[in-house]
Chain A
Amino acid sequence: MDLLTPDLGLLFWQLVVFLGLFFILRAFAWGPIVSSLHERENNIQSALDLAEKTRVEMTAMQANNEKLLAEARQEREAILRGAKETADKMVADSREKAEVEGKRILEQAREAMQNERQALVTQMKKEVVTLSLDIAEKVLRKELNDKSTQEKLVSDMVANSRLN
């Protein structure tokens, strides 16, 4: 059993035991170990991939949300602006209409007043004529109570008409 010369017995046993160990471990240990390591790595990788995909989707969704939000805000502003415009327009319209109406009513009133005054003036004229005639009649009646005056008047009138 020298240091540098291999012994036959140990060579034999080493070969038998090592090969036996190799085949036993290959059949019962390395197969399951290596395949489950592989499987677990795949699981971890797919989980990581899924997480990454979800993250990307989340980002996209968030961007989409923001876009939607921005659109909604814009729309709201547009609606508000439209509503304000409409309201302003309505106010302006009604003011205009009211102005026109007011003018029309004023015009009407003025016209009515004019008519009224015309009628009043006509009435007054008539009244004044009637009143003057009445007064003249009363004066005449009083003047013509005696015969002499009546004759004098007639003669005056005849005289006047002859002149004409």
Chain B
Amino acid sequence: MMQSSIKKFLIAITLILSSLGVVMAQEGHEGHAAGHEPAKKEKFDVGGMIMHHIKDDHGWEFAHGLTLPLPVILYSQDRGLEVFSSAHLAHGEVYNGYKNEHGKIHRVTETGALDEEAKVYDFSITKNVASLLLSAVIMILLFSAVTKGYTANKGKAPKGIQSFLEPIILFVRDEIAKGSIGPKYEKFLPYLLTLFFFILINNLLGLLPGAANLTGNIAVTLVLAVITFLIVTFNGNKHYWMHLVRPTGVPLPLLIVMIPVEIVGVFMKPISLMIRLFANITAGHIIILSLLGLIFMANAMAGTTTSVAISPVVMFFTLFLNLIELIVAFLQAFIFTLLTAMYIGSAVEEHHSHEADHGAHGTTSELG
């Protein structure tokens, strides 16, 4: 009883944060559009700075002027696979007939104009992909250490990194998987654990200065949501599908409304997962960057003294928001995994009430 109320509370918080996040993300987007007007170049461009930080990039910029070039991998039908360093495309240079325009690589004609005809597929190791690979390496190292702990310390108390992660693993197993899926949880536990730790570690990595905003990228959350959707769809039992076309306890005329709602709901669930994680993480980054941007805006508009004066206040709020982001990092990993587990649970759940319904039907028809 207590646990379920805590869960509901956490979900409510996350939903509120999510709606805020969407608003913030939209504002950020508008800011970005405004930020590229050349007239504002002499002023400090906060929107551009924020967008530059939260979006993906060829090359990993740790600080101004310190950029790690990353491999650009392009595939086009006429020229096949091409691999070269992103350093060649820095500062809008043209290399090999390619130009990096607003972070997107385009083919250019000999005159220097963008060639919209040529289809170029970009499989580059971007900042986000590099961060993704880094997080994968971290996870493999981390969990091989934990596994070694379990095999080497067999039958003993956990120690080291193993004892640090064990409560989290147990939490995912007991609270998320067992609680939401029920007795069939074991089949889905590897996916839920991978999902949880993937989101958590990338959320935390994203909070480091100069790091990529991986879980705040819609492509990443899209892939995760699609995998969840496929798992739910392929594990849906008879009742799950029956519920779509014939929801129990709904009067017949209402079915005209309810069936489309149910079918839309099937797709809305993964879409909400995708947007929630993306918006929350992106919003957190935008807020922190906006706060830090205040210092530079003050510098540009009112001079150095003002910016130095407001710095402590801004630092205080930034620190506070960073702490909140730490909570959000855990919370979003928890929510994504919990909702995934709940969707899986609703798909594999055995309904005894349904059976009872059938029984009641049988008796009435017999009586009739």
Residues of chain B within 8 A (CB-CB) of A11 are 219, 222-223
Contact of B122 among A2, A8, A31, A36 (CB under 8 A): A8
Considering the complex, give the chain A residue whose CB is closest to the CB of B140: A24
* Residue from B32, B150, B151, B218 within 8 A of A6 (CB atoms): B218
- The reply to whether B132 and A17 contact each other, CB–CB distance below 8 Å, is yes
CB distance from B25 to the nearest CB of A (A): 7
* Interface status of B139 (Cβ within 8 A of chain A): yes
Bound Cα distance A31, B146 (Å): 12
Would B147 and A33 count as touching, CB distance under 8 A? yes
Fill in one digit per residue for A92-125: 1 if any B CB lies within 8 Å of its CB, else 0. 0000000000000000000000000000000000
By a CB distance below 8 angstroms, the chain B residues around A31 are 190
Among A8, A14, A24, A30, the most chain B Cβ lie within 10 Å of the Cβ of A14
Which chain A residues border B186 with CB–CB below 8 Å?
34
Complex Cα gap A30–B136 (Å): 15
Q: In the complex, A121→B258 CA distance in Å? A: 149
A25 close to B140 (CB less than 8 A): yes
Q: Give Cα A153–Cα B267 distance, bound, in whole angstroms.
A: 185
Instruction: Please tell me the number of chain A residues within 8 Å of chain B, measured between CB atoms.
Output: 36
Contact (Cβ within 8 A) B51 A32: no
Q: Specify which chain A residues have a CB less than 8 angstroms from the CB of B57 in the assembled complex.
A: 1
Give the residues in chain A near B194, CB-CB below 8 Å. 18, 21-22, 25-26, 30
Is residue B126 within 8 Å, beta carbon to beta carbon, of the partner chain?
Answer: yes
CB-based contact A3/B222 at 8 Å: no
Pick from A18, A33, A37: contact of B223, CB under 8 Å: A18
The interface residues of chain A lying within 8 Å CB-to-CB of B28 are 3
Q: A3-B29, A14-B219, A18-B224 are in contact. Are A25 and B190 (CB under 8 A)?
A: yes
Point out the residues of chain B lying under 8 angstroms from A12, CB to CB.
Answer: 123
Given contacts A8-B123, A11-B219, contact A29 B151 (CB under 8 A): no
Question: Would you call A21 and B198 a contact (CB within 8 A)?
Answer: yes
Confirm or deny: B262 has a beta carbon within 8 angstroms of a beta carbon on chain A.
no
**Contact digits for B249-266, partner A, Cβ 8 Å, 1 yes 0 no:** 000000000000000000
Known: A25-B190, A32-B151. A5 touches B129 (CB 8 A): no
B218 x A4 contact (CB < 8 A) = yes
A contact residues around B290 at 8 Å (CB): none
Asked if residues B136 and A17 are in contact (CB atoms below 8 Å), the reply is yes
Return the chain A residue nearest B218 by Cβ.
A6
Q: How far is the CB of A77 from chain B (nearest CB, A)?
A: 54
In whole Å, how far is B345's beta carbon from the nearest beta carbon of chain A?
18
Is A146 close to B, CB under 8 A? no
| Closest 9 A/B residue pairs (Cβ) | A6-B219, A1-B103, A29-B143, A10-B219, A26-B190, A36-B150, A14-B223, A30-B190, A13-B129
Instruction: List 8 additional contacts besides A3-B28, A21-B139; criterion CB under 8 Å.
Output: A3-B25, A4-B25, A10-B132, A14-B132, A14-B223, A29-B147, A32-B151, A37-B166
7 A-B pairs whose Cβ atoms sit less than 8 Å apart in the complex? A2-B55, A9-B73, A13-B123, A21-B198, A30-B194, A32-B150, A34-B169
